[in-house]
Structure 1
Amino acid sequence: MEFFGVSLVEWIGYVAMATVLVSFLMKSVNKLRIVNSLGCLLFVLYGLLLQPLSKPIIITNIAIFSINLYYLLQKKA
């Protein structure tokens, strides 16, 4: 499936990239971590959909997501 000549998988990658970039514009660290986590999850999906799948993208973004989640939960405790 393509939109404007770009595959759906590639669009997911672009949305993930934009989400991570926008996260760094957040003034609040918590908001940054939340938006960045969403971008990480999108990158994990992107890595899984690539053929062959991209283990470096998947592993890196699961690690970053886990770090974000740790700090988000730690601050609430």
Structure 2
Amino acid sequence: MFEISYTEWIGYLASVVLIISFMMRNMKALRIINSTGAILFVIYGVMLEISWPIIITNIFILALNIYYLTIRRIPN
């Protein structure tokens, strides 16, 4: 009756994690949670038989988050 594929579950989970990340007041927490969402979206893009727009965008977002979390550290 109501079946959702694993691919759709990953997409929904990525969306929820992304939304939660934007509710964070702490910038470090926002970037960590947002990175998790970006990783999930990359997995989702691969599961969609390689959806390059989703994959490229989220790899770029992940790279920016890693940059700000490591090289250009964010104060708590």
The normalised TM-score by structure 2 is 0.91
Secondary structure, counterpart of 2:73 in structure 1: helix
Separation in 2, partners of 1:36, 1:75: 16
Name the residue aligned to 1:30: 28
Percent identity between matched residues is 50
* Unpaired runs of at least 5, structure 1: none
2:58 paired with 1:61: yes
The normalised TM-score by structure 1 is 0.90
Q: Greater RCO between the two (CA within 8 Å, min separation 6)?
A: 2
CA drift of 1:9 comes to 0.5
CA drift of 1:36 comes to 0.1
Runs of 4 or more, structure 1, over 3 Å off, are none
CA drift of 1:18 comes to 0.4
2:19 paired with 1:21: yes
Separation in 1, partners of 2:73, 2:64: 13
Q: How many residues align?
A: 72
RMSD between superposed Cα atoms in Å? 1.1
